[in-house]
Amino acid sequence: MSKEKFDYFIKTENNYWEVIIGLEVHAQVISNSKLFSGSSTKFGGKPNTQVSLVDSAFPGMLPVINKYCIEQAIKTGLGLNAKINLLSIFDRKNYFYADLPAGYQISQYKNPIVGEGSVTLDMPYGTKRVGIERLHLEQDAGKSIHDLNPDNTYIDLNRSGVALMEIVSKPDLRSPEEVNSYIKKLRTIMRYLGTCDGNMQEGSLRADVNVSVRKKGEKKFGTRCEIKNVNSIRFMEMAIESEAKRQVEILESGKKINQETRLFDTKKNETRSMRSKEEAHDYRYFPDPDLLPLQIEQSFVDNLKKNLPELPDQKKDRFIKDFKISPYEANVLVSDNNISQYFEDVIKNSDVKLAKNWIIVELFAVLNKKNIDIKNSPVSSKNLANLINLISSGEISGKIAKQVFELMVNTGDEPSKIIKEKGLKQQSDPKELEKIVKKVLDKNTDKVQQFKSGKEKLYGFFVGEIMKASSGKANPKLVNDILKKELKK
Amino acid sequence: MPIDKNQVKKVAKLSRISLEDNKIDSLSRDLDSILTFVEKLNELDTKEIKTLKSIADKTLEARNDIVDDGKIKNDILKNSPEKNEDFFIVPKVIE
Amino acid sequence: MVDLNNISLTEIVKLVKLKKVSSLELTNHYIKNIEKGKKLNCFITTCFDETIKNSKTFDAKKNYDTLLPGIPIAVKDLFCTKDVKTTAGSKILENFVPTYESTVTSNLWKEGAVLLGKLNCDEFAMGSSNETSFFGKVINPIEKNLVPGGSSGGSSSALAASFTPATIGTDTGGSIRQPASFTGTVGLKPTYGLCSRWGIVAFASSLDQAGPMTKNVEDCALMLEAISSYDKKDSTSINKKKENYSKNLNKNIKGMKIGIPKEYRVDNMPKEIEQLWSKGIDILKKSGVKIIDISLPHTKYALPTYYIVAPAEASSNLARYDGVKFGYRSNKGKNLIEMYENTRGEGFGDEVKRRVLIGTYVLSSGYYDAYYLKAQKVRKLIKKDFDNSFKKVDAILTPSTPSSAFKIGEKTSDPISMYLNDIFTVPVNLAGLPAISLPAGQDSKGRPLGLQLISNSLDEQRMLNIAFAIESEIKFKQNLNRWWE
């Protein structure tokens, strides 16, 4: 770990202000059907085609809970090292809004399905534990569309009733960087578990950010503001920074912070008050009489726990221990289940050290440049393993390997085919190599003389010339042996 | 007096019900007498009583995660007072 | 030809099976009765063309293996019926046509019945006299200035006047039993969860139950058998085997123990009701039943509890009537919020507004603990009272109502006096128990009076048996001169 120290404060003339952040993440549960109805959760359907009579709150319609969504919430809870509550209760959160058909959202208020837990972050200044307050299940609302008609708002209820997990952190985060790391870690855990796809563009992961500030060293929290529905990590970071600065300015001018809900304006890079929503805020939570208390058997939880996949932290420890790679490299490799899977596929049949370097350096460069996911990598794990084995066995040099790799990226072909077609195979016939070495030395008799009289730096020059003469294909180890022998003559 | 006219107006706002001015007085009186009536419960000490979780004598049953509903757009929109081919339509919402 | 107005559903079913009468003949008979009885204002919607069509379909392909072969039946307008307007007695649903059928009514149609029409009721079932309906008050066929009770007043009235051979209502605080008592008919509120609530316009979810209203106990058993079922679409529905209540009906109740709760002897109870109660006790004694004095100490808190719990749930259940997806929308208002307020202000009647406002208030921040939470705790005490009693007795006998049917307009100006009418029926809903009201006599003015039997959860068969035994001894007779025709 780097020796860097935590240093995120809003610095003013007289003060260092600490920023206190808590997050309410809304993660869409991966499931086929909605939390309380049998309509599809698929993204991007035609308006109002994924809506049942229950989702649109027709008279006499009743909710029936989806078993898989309960499982998904428990699995996520286990992934967050959290307490699973064997008894939880669904409540109605009452408010009127055009995209909330029943006039209430079914949520969990006093008795959530998951209690306290924690997430560990790897920061440059060491690991940091962030407390989880709770996780509860609730319904998503529909969508209000304001830009299709100048006088009216259009309502699409396709999302209405899709299961969400609201994951509430403790106010343990202290910088936009930590928030970034926290969201990514949460997302990784949920992707490992298959409980949320974490796709922020499609809205599968949204967050409300609670921000307050206090002078460095103070114990008491300041008054917080909630920034609603920020839908990208970058905007989250920007919103926190600008909101913290706003609060500091207010406090330093001797005024007080109003506890309120704010909206982040991405264009102006500032938050603004959402007073319209504030007005008459009274959700009148009460247990939903259409649903009974949710009782879970301990054995059900135990069984889910037993079948939980390896989680990123465990995988990281295993990689460090088994493969002798650095914590940094391990972090990179476990940051995405598909990456770690790819890595493990490659090293099944090839050298670990070469594999991790090729993945982290060469492959990631390509994927980043082309902006593609490792799942769609043009170089399959099998082909990369083959390439690495060709290097290990000395059939091609590292340099040639890079050429081959480039062609693999462009064609998707396997390395031996490329090598054969392009004639890139390493020159390993000692007699042939001897000829080349001799030819190079004969051409440069003056330099040979200089070398022999002590100018040993010229060794590299000879190697370079020999490689050039062999179009880079000469086996470097053999070239070494032959060259040394010839120079001693 | 458990509730006054202003509170009635506030509750009406929260309930999204417009009230005719000439009815607010009598309504307030009615609500006040109802609330006074239910406050009979205050005679009872319920500190030690746990709340009733559900009147149904069973626990929650769950359904399997199968898509077996939806795809009834016409039924969904049919009764709407204002709609087009795809959407419910409401007066402009100003955020 | 027999007088269809004076025989029971069970007897009509027999006649159909003996091919003495066809479904179409029955339908035509009831249509005629209904058309001659418009004065009573029992129906919000009739669908005679459909009824005739369905009767003909039945007659063309008779299936006698059902409980209600070809029997025309009208239902309370709180049950959603596919392609037939369902209003819940409210302006806000004036033009609502469901695309779906409630579980309870589809059970009726599966058993061979055909829909005659939709019966008037108090708006969203909120009322005890059927005077809050947007579609006007219903008249009790007993006397033209009497209310038929509520909220299933259209149902009780239509049944007593033979506009339908049997019917179904819903009971949240007495809405089946009280109108049954006011009209000299039998009404049963089943155990919470015995009948599915799916497709019934909700009033108060933890209290609502559908149930039969019939001319006698045997019919009641038959109808309960037809409508009760486990329904996966209702999470509060009880998963149990269907029972043959009518087949297992049995008058022998010797050796049973019946409790008489002292708390039901309320102040100012009319003497005639006291006498009725005593008469019931005497009959039971003669039938070999052991009478046991019991106490339900929290009875007096039932109504206050009910008037917190029911409005709280209603305020939330009725939030969906906002002019967006279905129902009435006001054209006044500049923005969404004003549209909501005007829609609900114009669409709901006074009693619904009162209850929604009370419900909103008792759930709102700062009041939740003092009202709603407190009420939920007291509800538990009320349930416990019953649980304790049923350790000692098989059923409990009480009067159904503290008075006979009252006059139209008599209680509309004072909501509390109206609420007090449900004093004997409400505790049962709070405890989720089954109860039945059966006609047991008339007061000096000739108005019917009912006795109520309450039993333990899912003990409907025993309750029906006791009611059957009382009925056969009491020999209640009601001769209506059909003054409205």
Place of tokens 């003559």: A489
Q: What is the mean pLDDT of residues A235-252?
A: 96
Q: Are C233 and C239 in contact (CB under 8 A)?
A: no
**Cα distance from B90 to chain A (closest Cα, Å)?**
5
- Assess if residue C472 is contained within a domain: no
In this predicted structure, the answer to whether residue B94 has a pLDDT above a threshold of 80 is: no
Q: Which residues of C100-114 are buried (b: 16+ CB within 10 A; e: fewer)?
A: bbbbbbbbbbebbbb
In this predicted structure, the answer to whether residue A423 has a pLDDT above a threshold of 90 is: no
Q: Which two tokens stand for residue C239?
A: 């998963």
* Domain, as residue range, for C84: 4-256
- Identity of the residue in B20, B30, B44 whose CB atom sits nearest the CB atom of C354: B30
Q: What is the dihedral of CA C228, C233, C236, C240, to 10 degrees?
A: 50
Q: What is the mean pLDDT of residues A55-63?
A: 98
Amino acid at B44: L
**Cα distance from A294 to chain B (closest Cα, Å)?**
5
DSSP reduced 3-state for C314: helix
- Assess if residue C320 is contained within a domain: no
Predicted local confidence at residue C257, as pLDDT = 98
Q: What is the mean pLDDT of chain C?
A: 97
- Identity of the residue in A37, A67, A294 whose CB atom sits nearest the CB atom of B64: A67
Place of tokens 């009875």: C299
- Assess if residue C316 is contained within a domain: no
Q: Which residue of B has its CA nearest to A40?
A: B67
Q: Which two tokens stand for residue C216?
A: 């006698």
- Assess if residue C54 is contained within a domain: yes
pLDDT digits (tens, 9 = 90+) for B76-92: 999 999 999 999 999 98
- Assess if residue C127 is contained within a domain: yes
**Cα distance from C323 to chain B (closest Cα, Å)?**
7
Q: What is the mean pLDDT of residues A399-423?
A: 91
* Structural domains present in chain A: 10-304 (no CATH), 310-422 (no CATH), 430-488 (1.10.10.410)
Could you tell me if B15 lies within 8 Å of chain C, comparing CB atoms? yes
| Residues of chain C found within 8 Å of residue A61, distances taken between Cβ atoms | 198-199
- Identity of the residue in A65, A103, A292 whose CB atom sits nearest the CB atom of C320: A103
| Residues of chain B found within 8 Å of residue C354, distances taken between Cβ atoms | 27, 30-31, 34
How many percent of chain A have pLDDT more than 70?
98
Q: Residue A143: what are its φ and ψ, rounded to 5°? A: -125, 130
Predicted local confidence at residue A278, as pLDDT = 47
- Whether residue C326 and residue B79 make contact (CB cut-off 8 A), yes or no, is yes
Predicted local confidence at residue C75, as pLDDT = 98
- Assess if residue C405 is contained within a domain: no
CATH number at residue C226: 3.90.1300.10
pLDDT tier at B58 (50, 70, 90 boundaries)?
Answer: confident
Q: What is the mean pLDDT of chain A?
A: 93
In this predicted structure, the answer to whether residue A182 has a pLDDT above a threshold of 80 is: yes
What chains are in contact with C, requiring at least 3 Cβ pairs below 8 Å?
A, B
- Identity of the residue in A70, A153, A280 whose CB atom sits nearest the CB atom of B14: A280
**Cα distance from C317 to chain A (closest Cα, Å)?**
8
Q: What is the mean pLDDT of residues A226-233?
A: 90
Structural domain total, chain C: 1
Between B25 and B51, name the one with better pLDDT.
B25
Chain C residues bordering chain A (beta-carbon distance below 8 Å): 80, 86, 88, 93, 96, 98-100, 102, 197-202, 204-206, 232-236, 312-313, 315-316, 318-320, 322, 324-326, 336-337, 340, 360, 363-365, 368, 372
| Low-confidence winner among A27-36, A393-402, C407-416 (lowest mean pLDDT) | A393-402
Chain Cα centroid distance, residue A342: 16
CA distance linking residue C484 with residue C5, whole number of Å: 14
Q: Are A135 and A168 in contact (CB under 8 A)?
A: yes
Could you tell me if C337 lies within 8 Å of chain B, comparing CB atoms? yes
| Residues of chain C found within 8 Å of residue A290, distances taken between Cβ atoms | 202, 205, 235-236
| Chunked mean pLDDT (size 10), chain C, 485 residues | 91 97 98 98 98 98 96 98 98 98 98 98 97 98 97 98 98 98 98 98 98 98 98 96 96 97 92 96 97 98 98 98 97 92 98 98 95 97 98 98 96 92 97 98 96 98 98 93 95
Q: Which two tokens stand for residue A333?
A: 């490799």
- With CA atoms as reference, report the closest residue to C402 among C350, C451, C367: C451
Q: What is the CA radius of gyration of chain B?
A: 22
The structural domains of chain B, with segments of one domain joined by +, span 5-43
Candidates C317, C343, C356, C374: best to mutate against A (most CBs of A within 10 A) is C317
- Whether residue C329 and residue B81 make contact (CB cut-off 8 A), yes or no, is yes
In this predicted structure, the answer to whether residue A289 has a pLDDT above a threshold of 60 is: yes
| Residues of chain A found within 8 Å of residue C197, distances taken between Cβ atoms | 60, 62
Q: Which two tokens stand for residue A396?
A: 């091609």
Q: Are C155 and C140 in contact (CB under 8 A)?
A: no
- What residues of C are annotated to the active site? 76, 151, 175
Could you tell me if C99 lies within 8 Å of chain B, comparing CB atoms? yes
- Assess if residue C395 is contained within a domain: no
pLDDT tier at A1 (50, 70, 90 boundaries)?
Answer: very low
Predicted local confidence at residue A225, as pLDDT = 95
Q: Which strands sit side by side in the sheet containing A152-156, from one edge to the other?
A: A143-145, A152-156, B88-91
Q: Are A386 and A415 in contact (CB under 8 A)?
A: yes
- Whether residue C202 and residue A59 make contact (CB cut-off 8 A), yes or no, is yes
Does pTM surpass 0.90? Answer: yes
In this predicted structure, the answer to whether residue A68 has a pLDDT above a threshold of 80 is: yes
- Whether residue C316 and residue A104 make contact (CB cut-off 8 A), yes or no, is yes
- Assess if residue C356 is contained within a domain: no
In this predicted structure, the answer to whether residue A138 has a pLDDT above a threshold of 60 is: yes
**Cα distance from A100 to chain C (closest Cα, Å)?**
9
| Residues of chain C found within 8 Å of residue A292, distances taken between Cβ atoms | 235-236
| Dihedral angle sign, alpha carbons of residues A372, A378, A382, A383 | negative
Residues 6+ positions from A255 with CB-CB distance below 8 Å: none
